[in-house]
A and B are shown apart, each in its own frame.
Chain A
C-alpha cells in the first residue's frame, strides 16, 4: 500500500561519530508524505541516533537532512519542532511533576503566538490563547482515549499509559512528521494493540507522516508502508515489508541477534 507522496524528509549520506564509535555511516533514505516509515535493526544499530539527527539533538559530521525541501546541516531541536517535527523517546521523557493535561499542553508551546511577556503575565491575548489551545488539547486527549487520567500526575501512571501521554504531547503540536522511538517497547499485548491502533489512526485520520523504530517484526509488517534496515550504523536494506522479509542479509543480521 505504498503511497507515492512527495518526499517530506530526505536523509543523505549521514555519518555520525562519537569519538571512535561510528553510530551512523553514510545512511541515506527518503520519507514520503503520508507514509509510515519503519527503521529497524539490532540493538546499537544506530536507529535512535538517526531520529536524534532528524530532530536536531545530534549533529552528523557528514551528510545533509532536507525537510520540506529545506536543507539543513545543523538544526537545533527548537527549529525542528517549529518546522513540524515532533517525537517520543525510547526512554519515556515526560514532565513527571505535571499532570497528563499539563504535559499535553506543553505540546502546544510553539503554537502560542502571544509574546512571552503576555503569557507570563497571563494578559488578554495570552489568556485567550490558552483557552483555544485547551480545546485542541482536549481533542487530542479524546483521540487517544486518555480522558480519565487528565488530572493524574504522569509519574503515577502505568508504563503503557505514560507512553500514550507522550504520544499525546507529540500530537498536540499537530506535527507533519512524527518520530516514534520504540513506542511499543515493554508493553503487554493489549497495550501494544492499542498503540498500533493509535499509530494507524494518527496516520489515516490526521494524515501525519510517521517514522517509527520498532523491534516487534509483526508490528512493523502490519503498520509500515516502507522499511529501512540499519546494522552497525550502515543501511542494510530498504523496501516494502514484503521485500524486507525476503531479504537474506536482513534475515542473517536479525538471526545473528543483537550486538551488545
Chain B
C-alpha cells in the first residue's frame, strides 16, 4: 500500500503543493532536452539523406567542442574560433565522404554503420591526442546568473545560461527549417531524403548532397557542443551523454525532424520529472542515466516507427 501510494498518489500531491518546484524541474529538463534534440537532429539529417545511421554523431559534438575550446584556449576570439571549427567540421564532412562513404557506397547498411563506429573511435582518440584529455571549461561569455521569476504560485529560479541555450537552439532549428524549405539546396536535400531514385533521375548529385548534409550535421554538433560544454565543461563524457539521442530517436522517429526536437524535449523533461518525483524517493536517485532507455524500449514494443516517423515498410 505504502509503495503504491508513493508511486501513484504522492508525486502528484507534491506537484500540486509546490507548483514552482515542478516548474523548475520542468524547465531544467526541457533545457537538457534541447541539447538532446540538437544531437538527435544531426542523426536525423544524415539518416534521412543517406540512410546511414551515424554512430559518430555524438563524437562529432565532442570533437567540435574540443576544437572550439582548444582554439579559444590558444587565445582565439570566440567568433573566429567558431568559424574555424565550422571549417574543420566541413573538412571532416569531406573526408568522411571521400574516404569512407564513397568507397563503401552500395554496401549493406550495417557495413556503413560499422564504418561510422570506426569514425567515432578515431575522432575520439584523435581529439584527445591533439587537445589532451582534461575537462575544459567553455567561457564564451554566456552569463550564468540566476534569474528569479515571480509567478502567482511562487518564485521560479531559472539559470540565464539555460535560457540562452534554449533561445540559441530555437534559433538554429528555425534557420534549418527555412534553409530546408526555401532554398534550392534545401529542396534537393529533401528530395534525396524522400526518394533516392527520383532524386537521381532529376540529376541531383548524391555525393554533393552527402557532403552538405554531413557538414550541416557538423554545424549542429558544434552548436550543441558549445552549449553543452558551457554547462558541463568539455569532457570526454560528452560523447556518452550524446548517445541519449538514441532513445530520443526511438521516441521521435528516425526520419522526422520535428520528431527529433519534440522527442528530445520529452526525454529531457521526462527524466528530470521521474528523477525528482519517483527516482529519488523510491530508488534513491541516479535514474536519469537509464530512464530514457527504458522509455525507449517500452516505446519500441508499441510504436516502433516513433511518434512522427513514417510507417516502417520494407523497401523493395
Binding site for B on A (CB under 8 A): 55, 57, 77-78, 81-82, 86-87, 89, 93-98, 102, 105-107, 109-110, 112, 116, 119-122, 126, 130, 169-170, 173
Contacts and interface: CB of A to CB of B under 8 A. Distances in A.
A173 B272 CA distance: 53
A110 B202 contact: yes
A110 B205 CA distance: 9
Given A57-B200, A116-B208, A122-B182, A109 B194 contact: no
B66 interface: no
A257 B193 CA distance: 38
Interface stretch (B111-119, B184-192, B296-304): B184-192
Given A57-B197, A95-B190, A170-B202, 6 more contacts: A93-B195, A93-B201, A95-B199, A96-B194, A97-B193, A173-B203
Contacts of A126: 183-184
Interface string B262-299: 00000000000000000000000000000000000000
Interface string B206-223: 101000100000000000
Contacts of A94: 194-195, 198
Chain B at the A interface: mostly helix, strand, loop or mixed?
Answer: helix
A81 B195 CA distance: 16
Contacts of B186: 120
Contacts of A173: 202-203
11 contacts: A78-B200, A78-B204, A87-B201, A97-B194, A105-B187, A109-B188, A110-B203, A116-B185, A116-B208, A130-B184, A170-B202
Interface residues of B, number: 25
A173 B202 CA distance: 8
Nearest to A52: B197
A81 B206 CA distance: 13
Contacts of B212: 116, 120
A55 B187 CA distance: 22
Contacts of B197: 57, 89, 93
B182 A81 contact: no
A119 B191 contact: no
A116 to B, nearest CB: 6
Contact of A98 (B191, B201, B203): B191
10 smallest CB-CB distances across A and B, nearest first, come from A81-B203, A93-B198, A77-B200, A95-B194, A110-B203, A120-B185, A119-B184, A95-B191, A119-B185, A122-B183
Contacts of B205: 78
Contacts of A106: 187-188, 191, 199, 202, 204
B195 to A, nearest CB: 5
A87 B203 CA distance: 11
A177 to B, nearest CB: 13
Contacts of A78: 200, 203-206
A95 B194 CA distance: 5
Given A94-B195, A98-B190, A169 B184 contact: no
A109 B203 CA distance: 7
Given A95-B194, A96-B195, A120-B185, A109 B204 contact: yes
Q: Max chain B CB contacts within 10 Å: which of A95, A112, A119?
A: A95
Contact of B201 (A81, A97, A112, A122): A81
Nearest to B194: A95
Given A94-B195, A96-B194, A86 B187 contact: no
B283 to A, nearest CB: 43
Contacts of A89: 197-198, 201
Nearest to A92: B198
B23 to A, nearest CB: 36
B3 to A, nearest CB: 48
A89 B199 CA distance: 12
Contacts of B179: 120
Q: Max chain A CB contacts within 10 Å: which of B179, B195, B203?
A: B203
Contacts of B198: 89, 93-95
Contacts of B200: 57, 77-78, 81
B102 to A, nearest CB: 13
B47 to A, nearest CB: 15
Q: Max chain B CB contacts within 10 Å: which of A55, A57, A97?
A: A97
A109 B187 CA distance: 9
Q: Max chain A CB contacts within 10 Å: which of B194, B200, B202, B205?
A: B202
Interface in B153-201: 179, 182-188, 190-191, 193-195, 197-201
Contacts of A55: 201
Nearest to B200: A77
A77 B203 contact: yes
Contacts of A120: 179, 183, 185-186, 212
Contacts of A110: 202-203
B189 to A, nearest CB: 10
A89 to B, nearest CB: 7
